[in-house]
């Protein structure tokens, strides 16, 4: 597939002429006429190169570059500043905020094409070297809700069990709220301080791949669990954001799939972990207030630079009630597709707790198992797409 170039310039003639020229060279072109629109498109479209004007009325190119470099999704995207500002100080300022190259207007088309080709080739070489040196990354799924009590942990463990059953590969479930652990009680697991021990390490260098591996608990279902303590006093560890980020990066290399129970809302640690996720699942129920909160949550996650196409909604109707809206109405009010609907199964959930196993393993032929199975199919199909 041809590389995508995002052009950010308030001059419509420049957008049209440069865009047409590069399009004739085989590149995909996207355009933005101001800084904020450029940022939104960069986060949404993940371009291979950004061609950026400096002098724009709402937000100049220097500020746009600063924000792009601060966001994990665009921190490494090559930026070519293309501007009429010719002073040496202007060029230095561009490089200082993170531009990769600087070209002054007007310029000959062949020079612009050469600069673009060079930047794209360099980033391609860098990716090849990085991929050969880094440890293999698995597929990470983050699950959260706009408020508590929606069944985030239950969905996490059943999705993980479904992925393990389908792929016969290693799957990790990590619950990430210290002091509020529930998996150990529900699954009859031991070593409930795996997460607490990792968050309590005083040196980031000690959060090693092997240390994280040792903190996992093996369950009879075949899953590996990173368990959180159920002692309220451990809640103070929620502020160990750097440790969380290190744990997330190590987990990604330890299994084909890692399912993160991110709890409620966007916790400080979630701001570090969400960019590591290949997919983000948001759980809600068909109640007006929850729909409003969930819509706001989607917008907040999107503003972090998470691609909206990687944010998916699961409707969980936990109780039989006429007050809950049907899936079609929830989707309309939410203005976001619902990829899976779970129907009430209270008896199955009680049975699962008694048997200390994921619900889908209690009754493999149940409606809940089939519903989770559709979600598993969706995730495995997404995993198979080129990254």
Distance CA 137, CA 131 (A): 10
The domain 139-383 having CATH identifier 1.10.3720.10: the answer here is no
Q: Check residues 282 and 387 and name the one with the higher pLDDT.
A: 282
All CATH 3.40.50.300 domain ranges in the chain, comma separated:
139-383
Nearest to 384 by CA among 163, 222, 158, 223: 163
**DSSP code of residue 257:** E
All CATH 3.40.50.2300 domain ranges in the chain, comma separated:
4-133
- Tell me which of 81-90, 109-118, 153-162, 295-304 is least confident: 81-90
Give residues with Cβ within 8 angstroms of 214, minimum separation 6.
none
Q: Check residues 86 and 226 and name the one with the higher pLDDT.
A: 226
Distance CA 216, CA 183 (A): 13
Nearest to 98 by CA among 83, 79, 82: 79
Tell the CATH topology of 4-133.
Rossmann fold (3.40.50)
What does the pLDDT look like over 288-344, one tens digit per residue?
A: 999 999 999 999 999 999 999 999 999 998 776 667 888 899 999 999 999 999 999
CA distances from 365 to 160, 187, 348, 369 (A): 17, 21, 12, 6
What confidence score (pLDDT) does residue 109 get?
85
| Residue-wise DSSP of 26-74 | T-EEEEESSHHHHHHHHHHH--SEEEE-S--SSS-HHHHHHHHHHSTTT
Distance CA 252, CA 279 (A): 13
What confidence score (pLDDT) does residue 217 get?
94
Dmax (CA) for the chain in angstroms is: 73
What confidence score (pLDDT) does residue 177 get?
94
Contact 216, 251 (CB under 8 A): no
């Amino acid at each position: 597939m041809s590389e995508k170039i995002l052009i950010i310039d308030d001059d419509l003639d420049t957008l049209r002429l440069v865009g047409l020229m590069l399009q004739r060279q085989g590149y995909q072109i996207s355009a933005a006429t101001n800084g904020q629109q450029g940022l939104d498109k960069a986060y949404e479209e993940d371009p291979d190169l950004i061609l950026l004007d400096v002098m724009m009325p709402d937000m100049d190119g220097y500020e746009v570059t600063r924000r792009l470099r601060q966001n994990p999704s665009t921190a490494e995207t090559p930026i070519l500043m293309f501007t009429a500002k010719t002073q040496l100080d202007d060029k230095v300022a561009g490089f200082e905020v993170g531009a990769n190259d600087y070209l002054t207007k007007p310029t000959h088309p062949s020079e612009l094409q050469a600069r673009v080709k060079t930047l794209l080739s360099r980033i391609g070489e860098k990716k090849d070297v990085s991929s050969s040196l880094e440890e293999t990354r698995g597929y990470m799924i983050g699950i959260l809700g706009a408020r508590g009590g929606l069944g985030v942990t239950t969905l996490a463990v059943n999705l993980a069990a479904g992925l393990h059953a389908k792929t016969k590969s290693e799957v990790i479930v990590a619950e990430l709220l210290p002091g509020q652990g529930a998996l150990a009680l529900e699954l009859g697991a031991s070593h409930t301080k795996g997460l607490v021990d990792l968050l309590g390490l005083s040196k980031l260098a000690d959060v090693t791949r092997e240390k994280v591996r040792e903190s996992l608990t093996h369950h009879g279902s075949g899953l590996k669990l990173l368990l959180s303590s159920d002692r309220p006093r451990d809640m103070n560890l929620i502020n160990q954001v750097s440790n969380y980020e290190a744990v997330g990066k190590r987990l990604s290399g330890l299994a084909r799939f890692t399912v993160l129970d991110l709890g409620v809302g966007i916790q400080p640690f979630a701001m570090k972990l969400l960019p590591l996720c290949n997919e983000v699942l948001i759980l809600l129920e068909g109640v007006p207030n929850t729909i409003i909160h969930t819509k706001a949550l989607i917008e907040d996650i999107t503003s972090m630079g998470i691609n909206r196409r990687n944010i998916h909604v699961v409707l969980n109707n936990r109780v039989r009630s006429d007050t809950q809206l049907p899936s079609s109405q929830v989707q309309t009010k939410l203005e976001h597709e619902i990829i899976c609907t779970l129907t009430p199964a209270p008896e199955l959930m009680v049975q699962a707790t008694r048997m200390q196993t994921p619900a889908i393993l209690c009754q493999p032929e149940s409606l809940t198992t089939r519903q989770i199975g559709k979600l598993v199919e969706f995730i495995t199909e997404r995993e198979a797409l080129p990254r």
